[in-house]
Amino acid sequence: MKAGAPEPALLRSQPQCPPEFAPLMRVIGQFPAPIDWASFEAYARLTGRRFARWELDVLAHVDRKRST
């Protein structure tokens, strides 16, 4: 969704993502569903980003949800 664009009605009725998950949502938004974990690992190596286990669990959960 573009910055400044009106929020779709479907999104308005959904609970908001906790603020601590916002950085993870930006990461997952860079990958098509389902996540190709080899590409994800390459992303982590290129950016130097080390993900905690809970972050990987959240990413996997979100990936499953958006793939259905």
Task: Look at residue 60 and tell me if it is in a domain.
Answer: yes
Tell me, what's the pLDDT at 57?
A: 92
Task: Look at residue 32 and tell me if it is in a domain.
Answer: yes
- The amino acid that residue 61 corresponds to is H
At 27-61, the pLDDT tens digits run: 888 888 888 889 889 999 999 999 999 999 999 99
Measure the CA angle with vertex 36, ends 32 and 38; round to 5°: 140
Task: Look at residue 5 and tell me if it is in a domain.
Answer: no
Predicted model pTM: 0.68
Task: Look at residue 43 and tell me if it is in a domain.
Answer: yes
| Cβ(13)–Cβ(50) below 8 Å | no
Q: What are the E-state strand segments in the chain?
A: none
What's the structural domain count of the chain? Answer: 1
Q: Write out the two tokens for 26.
A: 């930006």
Kindly indicate the confidence band of residue 1, based on its pLDDT and cuts at 50, 70 and 90: low
Other Cβ atoms closer than 10 A to 35: 20
Task: Look at residue 29 and tell me if it is in a domain.
Answer: yes
At 13-29, the pLDDT tens digits run: 778 888 888 888 888 88
Task: Look at residue 8 and tell me if it is in a domain.
Answer: no
